[in-house]
Amino acid sequence: MNNILSEEVLNVTDFTTSRQLTLWKREDLQSPQLDDVAEEVPVALVYNGISHVVMMASPKDLTHFAMGFSLSEGIIDSPREIYGMDVVPSCNGLEVQIDLSSRRFMGLKARRRALAGRTGCGVCGVEQLNDIGKPVQPLPFSQTFNLGNLDRALKHLNDFQPTGKLTGCTHAAAWVMPSGELAGGHEDVGRHVALDKLLGRRATEGEEWRQGAALVSSRASYEMVQKSAMCGVEILFAVSAATTLAVEVAERCNLTLVGFCKPGRATIYTHPQRLISD
């Protein structure tokens, strides 16, 4: 299998399709014209030959997605427990074939669920309400973030949405350094998938990715809070709002949750002690 750090190197236009559309503007129905539409494909994560989950996703950065999903769903505790990955076409979409350690594969079989999701839905396929919410070790309070540096990150977030710029159809998730610089980011038609891609990338990067925060272009749902906490992320910034369950989970697991992030303002939902201001 390929090394887990290998990436699919493709042009941004490989993730869009040109279609003939009709644009309406007030009092003017224009002639059909070509425009770009974001690709959305079924992506199956296959562990040691067994398909575990199918998610709808943008067909890029899929090894990062598989790594992030495996960590944020508690399938593995460390990237070292995945020995390799291959992204291969299947009859209806794509498969990420994952070589998982024997110990982790035994645990996966014991709790396996068939999760055929809508676009990046983190709950689809869960059989019982009790299955919603995983035990998360409370996060330490090991870092702070100066909110004055957030403006720089917000200004450049869409730099990591090349497909979104063409189609207006993707979410972004990026890693914000304490300085406000964005170390890297990923996009996807599904907000949970975009975050998983970021978490998978972070797990395979160096120490410089240990400090900082996650920034997402969407709202903050409880799944996104839980995924972040499972991967040791202490601070989550969201451009839009947070749900009540997201706030409750963030409070319980010691995650600093911040929503409505705009230049010069933000709403701090939980654990403000990590945040400082100029």
Q: Which residues are catalytic?
A: 121
261 among the known binding-site residues? yes
Closest among 38, 187, 65, 191 to 121, alpha carbons compared? 191
Contact yes or no for 207/183 (Cβ under 8 A): no
Place of tokens 């330490």: 140
Three-state DSSP class for residue 75: coil
Residues 228, 238: Cα–Cα separation, whole Å: 12
264 among the known binding-site residues? yes
Three-state DSSP class for residue 267: strand
118 among the known binding-site residues? no
Residues 195, 146: Cα–Cα separation, whole Å: 22
Q: What is the DSSP string of 107-171?
A: HHHHH---EEEEET-SSTT--SGGGSS---PPPP----EEGGGHHHHHHHGGGG-HHHHHHS--E
The CA-to-CA distance between both ends of the chain, in Å, stands at 49
Place of tokens 């199956």: 44
262 among the known binding-site residues? yes
Output the known binding site. 260-265
